[in-house]
Amino acid sequence: MTGEDDPYRRARHLAEAGRDADAEAELRAALAEEPGDADLLTLLGYVLRRRCDYPGALRACDAAIAAGPALADAHAERAESLMALVRDADAIAAAREAARLAPQEPAGHLVLARALAGAGRHDEARAAARHGLSLAPQSVAALLTVADVERRAGRRQEAERAAREALAIDPESAYGRWLLAMLDAERLRVGRSLRALREVARDDPARPDVISMTWPVRSLLSALRRWLPAAVALVAVVAFAARWWAPAAGASRLLAALFAAVVAGFALRVLVPAGRLPWRCLRLVPGPLRRVTVGRAVTVVAMVALLCAYAMTGLGLILIPALVAAPVLGGLRAVERERR
């Protein structure tokens, strides 16, 4: 079946209108009559992926490839599902096959670029993205893929340039506006980033990206995870040294106060401009991710409170629970990665 057939066309239009449940129902009804139609199965994989049913999307793509092994779109969509499941090596292999089957089509090269970027192979990803762009220089999708790959590689200026080129062609591109908002987030332009994310969500109320709108909270916790345990450990080492060198006791209390003040200042810098929006959105994210984020926040608050208590009292035993909390913070981060 091709895109000219009514069931495929109707399902495609429903998906483009954001009516993914209706599109899925249309596709399943059509597949009941033609279960081996590779185009319908590929589109079903796309719709299921949009509905976050990644295992189901992968099964649909596998069935599409079994029905039409030479269908490049099926391999490309399979790569997208594998990326969502964080199976980087398999995603790269599927994307390479899509690019091999349709070397003059940009789509396969673009999904390959995203798969390589997801695996941290930034130079290869940039080369694949640029090649895809060379095949379609005015393609918004190609420009946004270049922007995405450059952003992941830490090249923010290049990413912003490509995103703005895409938006010059299509000013309403939700993904282009989202990319610019996230680039602002990485530069701690908190208010501007959240305003842009709110506008993107307003334009597509059926699928608001509530996870992105919690970035001030999650980014703050991620930054603190990197150095707060080391700060607590340093305070503990200096406090322990006071057994042999008395001035170290005062130094450890001063360090504890300094680290607590730095955390408070950074939190104010990020959270005050953000207002209540990230916290309201946090209530809407998937339960496991919400619980992990709240757990990390509680752990950080407890560690900072213990630092403050030690700075005020000088009681070394107070540092023991702070040290115990450090691996808890790292463990919660690992759980968050698995949940996502």
Quote the pLDDT of residue 336.
52
Q: How far apart are CA 317 and CA 6, in angstroms?
A: 72
SS3 content of the chain, % helix, strand, coil (to 5): 80, 0, 20
Answer for the pair 326, 272: CB distance below 8 angstroms, yes or no. Answer: no
Q: Looking at the structure, do residues 126 and 263 belong to the same domain, yes or no?
A: no
Quote the pLDDT of residue 1.
46
Quote the pLDDT of residue 3.
43
Q: Looking at the structure, do residues 301 and 206 belong to the same domain, yes or no?
A: no
Quote the pLDDT of residue 334.
54
Quote the pLDDT of residue 339.
44
Whether pTM exceeds 0.85: no
36 lies in a domain? yes
Mean pLDDT by 10 residues, the chain (340 residues): 68 87 93 93 95 93 96 96 93 97 96 95 96 95 96 94 96 93 93 93 78 91 88 94 91 96 94 92 85 90 95 93 85 53
Buried b (16+ CB within 10 A) or exposed e, 73-97: bbbbbbbbbbbbeebbebbbbbbbb
End position of a domain, from candidates 176, 194, 210: 210
280 Cβ contact partners less than 8 Å away, ≥ 6 residues apart:
none
Buried b (16+ CB within 10 A) or exposed e, 35-66: eebbbbbbbbbbbbbeeebbebbbbbbebbbe
Quote the pLDDT of residue 340.
45
Q: Looking at the structure, do residues 182 and 300 belong to the same domain, yes or no?
A: no
1 lies in a domain? no
Quote the pLDDT of residue 286.
80
Q: Looking at the structure, do residues 105 and 185 belong to the same domain, yes or no?
A: yes
Q: Looking at the structure, do residues 233 and 139 belong to the same domain, yes or no?
A: no
End position of a domain, from candidates 179, 210, 241: 210
Instruction: Give the angle 72-87-163 at the CA atoms, nearest 5°.
Output: 70
Q: Looking at the structure, do residues 253 and 275 belong to the same domain, yes or no?
A: yes
Quote the pLDDT of residue 4.
47
Q: Looking at the structure, do residues 312 and 228 belong to the same domain, yes or no?
A: yes
Q: Looking at the structure, do residues 232 and 316 belong to the same domain, yes or no?
A: yes
Q: Looking at the structure, do residues 66 and 151 belong to the same domain, yes or no?
A: yes
Query: Among 220, 222, 208, which residue's Cα sits nearest to residue 285?
Result: 208
52 lies in a domain? yes
Q: Looking at the structure, do residues 229 and 156 belong to the same domain, yes or no?
A: no
Number of structural domains (the chain) is 2
- Domain containing residue 323: 213-339
**110-113, long-range: CB < 8 A, 24+ apart:** 110/141, 110/142, 110/145, 111/76, 111/79, 111/80, 112/79, 113/145, 113/146, 113/149
For residue 92, give the CATH number of its domain: 1.25.40.10
Q: Looking at the structure, do residues 179 and 319 belong to the same domain, yes or no?
A: no
End position of a domain, from candidates 156, 191, 210: 210
Q: How far apart are CA 305 and CA 318, in angstroms?
A: 10
Q: Looking at the structure, do residues 206 and 221 belong to the same domain, yes or no?
A: no
What tokens appear for 84 in the block?
């969502």
126 lies in a domain? yes
Quote the pLDDT of residue 202.
87
